[in-house]
């Protein structure tokens, strides 16, 4: 399983936390509130990746450089290690490498891993990184992925699909 061009880069093994869209767990300076046992929280708290693994679909959104690709690669490696445990397979693709729809469809949906999933032999863990970069060359990427997933789902199985609207994020804080 190839984990893309950045897989060989030196990475800092920071523990990253994720919050649901629309929630904020940062102080006025942008730092995450203390997550220690002594901290008191009311309501939902930021989650680390081990707490969100059971979800059927996870979409990481955020500013460039916060570690989304690192977490995705780490999770793909973790899932690959689980392959020996059961009937499961992993497929990781760095979407920034694609500028043509036909090549993307061939490399993802006609891959050996996807064929094993379709045949019912294995469960598939699909990791797609660099969605935004790919949209520069393939503007209708979300529609293509949703259509292919729906068309190629196993009989009687529904693959969750989510619509992602284009969001413009600003690094500037309003005063």
Residue 146 in any domain: the answer is: yes
Residue 164 in any domain: the answer is: no
Indicate the SS3 state at residue 125: strand
* Cβ atoms 1, 92 nearer than 8 A: yes
Residue 175 in any domain: the answer is: no
Instruction: State mean pLDDT over 6-14.
Output: 63
pLDDT (tens digit per residue) in 152-175: 888 777 665 544 444 433 333 333
pLDDT at residue 160, as a whole number? 57
Number of folded domains that form the chain: 1
* Cβ atoms 6, 130 nearer than 8 A: no
pLDDT (tens digit per residue) in 92-119: 999 999 999 999 999 999 999 999 888 8
Domain range for residue 84? Answer: 5-152
**Which pTM value belongs to this model?**
0.69
pLDDT at residue 109, as a whole number? 94
Nearest by Cα to 163 from 147, 137, 149, 143: 143
pLDDT (tens digit per residue) in 27-75: 777 777 666 555 555 556 777 788 877 776 677 777 778 888 888 888 8
CA separation, residue 5 to residues 10, 23, 129, 157, 161 (Å): 12, 32, 11, 33, 27
pLDDT at residue 98, as a whole number? 94
């Amino acid at each position: 399983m190839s984990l893309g061009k950045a897989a060989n880069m030196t990475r800092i093994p920071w523990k990253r936390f994720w919050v649901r869209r629309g929630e904020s767990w940062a102080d006025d300076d942008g730092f995450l509130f203390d997550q220690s046992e002594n901290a008191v929280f009311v309501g939902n708290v930021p989650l680390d990746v081990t707490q969100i693994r059971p979800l059927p679909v996870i979409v990481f959104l955020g500013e460039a450089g916060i570690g989304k690709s690192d977490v995705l690669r780490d999770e793909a490696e973790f899932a690959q290690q689980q392959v020996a445990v059961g009937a499961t397979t992993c497929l990781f693709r760095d979407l920034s490498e694609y500028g043509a729809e036909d090549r993307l469809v061939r490399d993802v949906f006609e891959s050996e891993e996807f064929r094993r999933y379709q045949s019912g032999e294995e469960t598939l863990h699909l990791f797609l990184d660099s969605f935004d970069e790919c949209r520069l060359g393939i503007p209708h990427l979300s529609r293509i992925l949703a259509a292919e997933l729906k068309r190629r789902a196993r009989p009687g199985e529904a693959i969750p699909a989510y619509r992602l609207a284009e969001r413009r994020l600003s690094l500037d804080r309003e005063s």
